[in-house]
Amino acid sequence: MTIAKFRSILGWSAVYNMALLLFFALFFLIAKEWIFDVWGYFFNVSYEQYEVFMLYSMAFWKVLIFVFFIIPYLAIGKVQKGIKE
């Protein structure tokens, strides 16, 4: 596998993950009460705890996307540009 192909895989993985995160966030905004009813059935959490958990999980997911996909994608691009010059 070439570096360019690996960089392409990282880029598309970042796009797919960000799209999934956006879908999750929109679903959370639209069906917040329904999701809480499902979670509340299985776990004994308050509505405030549920909201905090969902927001923290989305923030954590976004950090993971940046750390494992976007930053390496940009770093590989910077290195490739330096090699070509």
Structure-token pair, residue 68: 């494992």
Q: Residue 26's pLDDT is what?
A: 97
45 or 15, higher pLDDT: 15
Over residues 25-69, the pLDDT tens digits come to 999 999 999 999 998 889 989 999 999 999 999 999 999 999 999
Tell the residue number behind the tokens 């750390």, with chain if given: 67
85 or 29, higher pLDDT: 29
Helical H segments across 1-85, by residue range: 3-30, 32-42, 47-65, 71-84
Q: Is the pLDDT of residue 85 over 80?
A: no
What angle do helix axes 47-65 and 3-30 make, rounded to 10 degrees? 160
DSSP-derived secondary structure for 2-26: -HHHHHHHHHHHHHHHHHHHHHHHH
The pTM score is: 0.86
Q: pLDDT band at 83, cuts 50/70/90?
A: confident
